[in-house]
Amino acid sequence: MTAAGPYLAADPDDLVRRFVREGAHVHAAATMSRPNALLNAVCRVFAGSGSLTVSTTAVHSNAHALALSGAVRKVITGFVGDTYPSPRPNRLYRDLAAGEPFEIELWSLLGYTQRLMAAALGQPFATTGSQLAQTDLRHGKEGVLHVVAHPEDPDRTVTLLSPLRPDLTLFHGVCADRHGNVVAVPPLGEGAWAAYAATEGVLASVEAIVDDEVVAAMPDRVVIPARRVLGLCEAPLGAHPQSLRTGGLAGVSGYLDDYAFLTDIVNACKAPATAADWYDTWVGGVSGHEEYLERLGAGRRGSLAYPPTAATTPAAEGRATAPEAATPPTEQEQLIVLAARAVADLVEERGYDTLLAGIGTSHMAAWLAVRLLADRGITVDAVAELGLQQMAPEPGDVFLFSQRHAERSRMLAGVAETLGAAVAANPRCLGVLSAAELDADGNINTTLLPDGRWITGSGGANDIASTVDCVVVAAASPRRYVPRLAHLTSPGERVRDVVSQFGRFSRPGPGTPFRLTTWLPPVPGRGAAEPPDTPARAVLELTGWSFPGPEDPTAAGGVGDRLVDEKAVTTEELTLLRSMDPEGHYR
């Protein structure tokens, strides 16, 4: 920024060409409204250079353009994959562990944010309670992650993290004045920490540049002050295909995630040719953001408006009516219901007041548990890592980070307030997590398969599992319940319970074996053989765990002494679940 104010660019490409240089470290700020118009411009301007370092909390949806553009040498992140309609690996990153399509430096979400905070505050280190050094997340971080003796307790250590200082931070906001004061509304994810952490400053796009007096009238909404902003441009729908919450500030309309667009990206990335076509259509072959908007079309842009106009109905927003509960539950639905019951019972037994769920079957189970507890007259807060707290999820929208849920939440904050204050500093929080692999000690893998293929990474899972009691929700199979993990992503000491599609495994504490404590005969999975019909056979055939005691299928093995029969999934439970997921993404 100069004394006259920031450079006012014609569009995102102009802004990127003026300030970003080859070899730069560019950070894409992680609110629920990513700076996608600016990221697209980075891909176009630096296509094929393989020179940039990009940091961002997660690489998904439109950010796959980074891999397809060839612009990036290294990515610093916590998650690489897809998040909608459910979390899953993306074929683009099968060989990510081998450095293709770029080098990866993987972190947990809170640890990553704490590094930004340290840089923003001018500190030499951040401290974290997340167990990064005790897991495979430590690899490749010898100069960044340090374990030192605890100054007051010789039996403990402290993990220090070097600050994360990008050269430039990209940010998309609601509006700004011409001085560069950028307005945004919560939930704010990592908030403004990355703006203060950047050594050179911020490149900002906004829905609209407004008169000075408009911003002056809402100083509490200025997230990034003018002195941090080098350049600024207008980019309507600059977060698309992700969403933007505006609170109606400055007359700017908010918009929803474009689920159809996100689904198209997932499908396109299944093959190299279709992925290249998608990139050429929406990023590489587009002259700039104005043409991008033209290709979207006015009708599509209008359909995303939120809160909806009088002409926008729930049907037009893509939500469907819940199917009747007359059809039996699927294997996945039974898993979610059993997990929700377990979570509800644990809240009642142990007095938890907060549920922090990872994305997937885990967050569906947590949401359902909140509803089941409400029927018992018990209130518990559901929170999501980017800053949604005291959530009341919108029925029919299964995406964890939907703006519909933000509008219905009673508190909106950011990563530090959520994974830090509401979780790590709260002994009454229960984590509800998923797993790609789970060993008999409760350790979790969400990063690499045994053959070296990439899964997704940690996200906030390591932070949650490191600090609070946890339930893991995972369909049992010998490939998932394994004797040894291919990669240790999250520690298992705090995992007290594991819920499968046929019942709940529990243990009194770390170092003791899990035992099956509840039982409901599993339903057949898609295309699967007839499932085991006894608890002992289910444990033997559907897990790869070894248990103290006899391994004869007719003996107890890993089955507890006081096994409780679960009642069949009720019509009420199934109706409630299907009202949450009418399109059957979790069926």
Identify the CA nearest to 62 among candidates 202, 306, 238.
238
In whole angstroms, how far apart are CA 554 and each of 259, 358, 523, 537, 586? 48, 36, 20, 7, 33
Ordered by start, the domain boundaries in the chain are 7-123+163-291, 126-162, 331-579
Check residue 313 and give its pLDDT: 42
Identify the CA nearest to 289 among candidates 587, 16, 481, 581.
16
DSSP 469-499: EEEEE----TTTB-SS-SS--B--TTEEEEE
- Would you call 182 helix, strand, or coil by DSSP? strand
Structure tokens at 443: 């350790």
d(Cα 544, Cα 559) in Å, to the nearest integer? 14
218 burial type by CB count under 10 A (0-12 exposed, 13-18 middle, 19+ buried): middle
In whole angstroms, how far apart are CA 57 and each of 32, 298, 354, 470? 11, 31, 23, 23
Residue with tokens 């397809």: 68
Question: What are residue 515's DSSP bridge partners?
Answer: 506
In whole angstroms, how far apart are CA 530 and each of 286, 301, 303, 333, 477? 52, 48, 45, 18, 14
Helix (H) or strand (E) segment spanning residue 252 = none
CATH architecture of the domain covering 331-579: 3-Layer(aba) Sandwich (3.40)
Residues 483/440, Cβ–Cβ less than 8 Å? yes
Work out the number of other CB atoms within 10 angstroms of the CB of residue 43.
Answer: 25
Check residue 326 and give its pLDDT: 72
DSSP 8-state class, residue 582? T
d(Cα 572, Cα 371) in Å, to the nearest integer? 11
Positive or negative torsion for Cα 477, 439, 60, 387: positive
Positive or negative torsion for Cα 159, 162, 166, 171: positive
- Would you call 179 helix, strand, or coil by DSSP? coil
Check residue 157 and give its pLDDT: 83
In whole angstroms, how far apart are CA 519 and each of 381, 438, 522, 559, 568? 28, 20, 9, 9, 10
Identify the CA nearest to 249 among candidates 225, 217, 226, 224.
217
DSSP 8-state class, residue 226? G
At residue 383, what is the residue type? V
DSSP 375-437: HTT---EEEBTTTEES--PPTT---TT-HHHHHH-SEE--HIIIIIIIIIT-TTEEEEEE-SE
Residues 160/126, Cβ–Cβ less than 8 Å? yes
Residues 200/26, Cβ–Cβ less than 8 Å? no
CATH no., domain 7-123+163-291: 3.40.1080.10
Instruction: Tell me if domain 7-123+163-291 and domain 331-579 are identical in fold.
Output: yes
Q: What is the pLDDT along the chain (587 residues), one digit of tens a residue?
A: 666 789 999 999 999 999 999 999 999 998 999 999 999 999 999 999 999 999 999 999 999 999 999 999 999 999 999 999 889 999 999 999 999 999 999 999 999 999 999 999 999 999 999 999 999 999 999 889 999 988 888 877 889 999 999 999 999 999 999 999 999 999 999 999 999 999 999 999 999 999 999 999 999 999 999 999 999 999 999 999 999 999 999 999 999 999 999 999 999 999 999 999 999 999 999 999 999 999 999 999 999 999 875 444 444 344 545 556 679 999 999 999 999 999 999 999 999 999 999 999 999 999 999 999 999 999 999 999 999 999 999 999 999 999 999 999 999 999 999 999 999 999 999 999 999 999 999 999 999 999 999 999 999 999 999 999 999 999 999 999 999 999 999 999 999 999 999 999 999 989 899 999 999 999 987 666 788 989 999 999 999 998 865 544 444 568 988 899 999 999 999 999 999 999 999 99
Phi–psi pair at 340, nearest 5 degrees: -60, -40
Check residue 63 and give its pLDDT: 97
